[in-house]
Amino acid sequence: MTVICASLILAGCASSGSSAPGVANPFSTDGSSSLASIKVNTMRVFGDSYSDPNFTSSIGTINWGQQLQARGTVARSSIYAIGGARAQSGELRAFDQQINKALNSGNPIVDRDLTVVYLGHNDIGRTGSPDGLVRSTTGYKAGVDRLVKAGAANENRRLFVTQLHAWGRGPGVSDGVDHQVRAWNTMLAGIANSHPNIIAVDMYTAFERVFQDPQKYGFTNVTTADRSRSSIDALYHDATHFGNRGQEIITRVYQHYLSRGWDWANSVSAGAGAAEQLNKDIDQGTLVLSMAGQKRLQPGFRLVALGMDQNKPFSFKPLNGKVFQPFASTRQQELQQSPRGLALDMNLGSEDNPSNSRLGVAVFQHEQPKVLETAAQRNSRRFTSDAVSLYWHKPVSGFLLSSQLSHMALNFNSYAQDSMVNLTLENTSKGDTWSLENKLRYPLRSGAMNVTPWLSLTSQSHSMDPALTRTLYTTDVLFSSSRMNELLSGLGLDIQADPISLAGNKQLRLGGSLYHVQSLHRDSVMVSMQEAGSPGVVQRELFPSAKISRTQLGLQAALDVAKNVRFSATYGTQLQDVKNTSSLLLLANIQY
């Protein structure tokens, strides 16, 4: 038997079908980590000539802060940086004076705001700090404390403290200052180690890679100033400042830090979507189809393929796995016919004492690929889950109780690339998810329809194993995170109409589903990051898990025009956002 399928997809925005949004990126507009989705509300910048737009424009170079705003990463920027500024207090352009101006501006720091401190070049100077950076260190720490008290490092905000590149490599700076650069960067790492949501941004490694292999990064000159070629292949515009290409690298490093912790935190809850899919596929293969036909299963064992077309009523889509699941992927391997899982199912009754009580064990594999959509996105991820599930179904006084306990082993492959730094990376990591779903159904017969109201309670627990990862711009990072627990409730109604006979032996089958999912509790995720370039320093970011409250509607119709020819249509939408989540899938299925 051969199956030929043709499909037409009309969608506002087809959802991936995952169970819920993961953790909340404080700077994401839609829950994803692509650069197009990252938008800081207000970015406040404290610094020196490396960040001062008045200075960079005076020498004719771009400014990293303005670049972030021009690209849409930042909605609004307040740049208090002044050329020549130092961290030590008491000077007109100093860090404390910049903070005074910011705090007196009448614009308090709020959620989705980013604060960046990029200071130290002038504190070290061209020949080194005379007092060994003592006063500068005191002023810097005092300034950071003021920003923390003002809310810059609260839950949905971030405070970036920027480590310096190898300042002594500049053509106008003494080679002997390198030890002070390292001491300064170590001090900043210690500040980040002391408070969640304060992040030490490693500019040192990003530029050290350029210095060590200039040609790989498109440079022919990283030692002398060349104003005319600093936007082409020379790093330095003058004796102490980068040109356009150097400013562009700074921009990209900041973009990297805006999402790196969130990417890991969101992986923690990646198993939630796989768990929901598994529960639906078990329902489809072992329960829903028999309920649709009002059949009493024979006692004993049977093998059931999960996640494929069973040639039964309302089993329209091989990868959907559930009678009504309009949010399954319609773009990736949508016509695949092979099963993704197998269940050993047992009816607990006997021929003399028939029963619909059932239990079984299922094994399952789920894959969710992502690819690089554009070079600007620079990151992608693919994960698979290998699952084992125990399930039990029990009729009680007209109700049907079901429980499903599942464990999923998650395997991640993450990819990153940046043509500017000529680097492509692949990292692997592992995690696991436990899921316990309890559902209560009440099947009813109303006229020519089967109507099944239901409610559910689902508990899930997710974790990631610590993993050492390579990055595009920094030294290797050891990621680890807290376990995330969540509790979800569901309430729904499934409707299946009896087949409608039409002329020419055609049959029309109609169905619909309406359900609401609500999170009762979701843990925040604490992500810890240890960069190889800062041994013993642990940076932490706290990511609150996004609350879930979604109502989904699914409508399906299938027309059997001949014995082996079927046309079907599926419409799905999330009622809270019909414009962006509506999708229509049209399928033609021919078997011969």
State whether the Cα torsion 86-92-95-96 is positive or negative.
positive
> Which residue type occupies 496?
Q
Pick from 68, 64, 184, 79: which is nearest to 122 by CA? 184
490 band by pLDDT with thresholds 50, 70 and 90: very high
437-441, 529-533, 579-583, range with greatest mean pLDDT: 437-441
Q: Comparing 388 with 11, which gets the higher pLDDT?
A: 388
Residue pair 542/155 in contact (Cβ under 8 Å)? The answer is: yes
The token pair that represents 473 in the structure block: 């711009």
Q: Is the model's pLDDT at 333 over the cut of 50?
A: no
Task: Specify which residues 450 forms β-bridges with.
Answer: 445, 496
Q: What is the pLDDT of residue 472?
A: 86
pLDDT mean over 480-485? 94
> Mapping DSSP to helix (H, G, I), strand (E, B) and coil, where does residue 139 land?
helix
String of DSSP letters for 207-251? HHHHHH-GGGGT-SEEEEE-GGGTTTTEEESSSS-B-HHHHHHHH
- The boundaries of every CATH 2.40.128.130 domain in the chain are 3-22+271-591
CA distance 145 to 183: 20
Estimate to the nearest angstrom the gap between the alpha carbon of 241 and the chain centroid.
Answer: 36
Q: Is the model's pLDDT at 191 over the cut of 90?
A: yes
Least confident of 69-83, 319-333, 457-471: 319-333
CA distance 587 to 26: 39
Number of H helices, E strands in the chain: 11, 26
Dihedral through CA 242, CA 245, CA 246, CA 251, nearest 10?
Answer: 130
CB atoms within 10 A of CB 396: 9
Pick from 281, 324, 284, 321: which is nearest to 553 by CA? 324
CA distance 120 to 86: 6
Residue pair 493/551 in contact (Cβ under 8 Å)? The answer is: no
Residue pair 491/515 in contact (Cβ under 8 Å)? The answer is: yes
CATH topology assigned to domain 35-265: Rossmann fold (3.40.50)
The token pair that represents 463 in the structure block: 């974790």
Block residue for tokens 């009622």: 575
> Mapping DSSP to helix (H, G, I), strand (E, B) and coil, where does residue 59 land?
coil
Least confident of 144-153, 490-499, 575-584: 575-584
Q: Comparing 466 with 3, which gets the higher pLDDT?
A: 466
On average, the pLDDT of the chain sits at 83
Pick from 328, 359, 263, 268: which is nearest to 18 by CA? 328
- The boundaries of every CATH 3.40.50.1110 domain in the chain are 35-265
Task: Give the tens place of pLDDT for each residue, 499-516.
Answer: 999 988 899 999 999 999
Tell me the C-alpha to C-alpha distance, in Å, between residue 325 and each of 12, 317, 352.
Answer: 17, 9, 37
Task: For the full predicted model, state whether its pTM sits above 0.95.
Answer: no
Q: Is the model's pLDDT at 326 over the cut of 50?
A: no
N-to-C CA span, the chain: 5
Choose the CATH number for 3-22+271-591 among 3.30.870.10, 3.40.50.300, 2.60.40.10, 2.40.128.130. 2.40.128.130
555 band by pLDDT with thresholds 50, 70 and 90: very high
pLDDT mean over 186-207? 92
Task: Give the tens place of pLDDT for each residue, 355-401.
Answer: 668 888 988 877 765 444 333 456 777 888 888 999 998 888 889 99
Block residue for tokens 């912790």: 261
CA distance 592 to 420: 52
CA distance 284 to 265: 31
> Which residue type occupies 547?
K
Pick from 225, 224, 222: which is nearest to 213 by CA? 222
Least confident of 281-295, 344-358, 495-509: 281-295
353 band by pLDDT with thresholds 50, 70 and 90: low
Q: Between 203-212 and 244-268, two packed helices, what is the crossing angle to 10 degrees?
A: 120
32 band by pLDDT with thresholds 50, 70 and 90: low
Q: What is the pLDDT of residue 422?
A: 73
Q: Is the model's pLDDT at 271 over the cut of 90?
A: no
Q: What is the pLDDT of residue 9?
A: 43
Block residue for tokens 């409250």: 549
DSSP summary character for residue 137? H
Task: Give the tens place of pLDDT for each residue, 150-178.
Answer: 999 998 899 999 999 999 999 999 999 99
Residue pair 476/466 in contact (Cβ under 8 Å)? The answer is: no
Q: What is the pLDDT of residue 287?
A: 52
pLDDT mean over 413-442? 88
Task: Give the tens place of pLDDT for each residue, 132-142.
Answer: 999 999 999 99
String of DSSP letters for 415-426? EEEETTTTEEEE
Residue pair 298/488 in contact (Cβ under 8 Å)? The answer is: no
Q: What is the pLDDT of residue 259?
A: 81
**Rg of the chain (C-alpha set):** 29
210 band by pLDDT with thresholds 50, 70 and 90: very high
75 band by pLDDT with thresholds 50, 70 and 90: very high
CA distance 79 to 81: 6
CA distance 461 to 268: 9
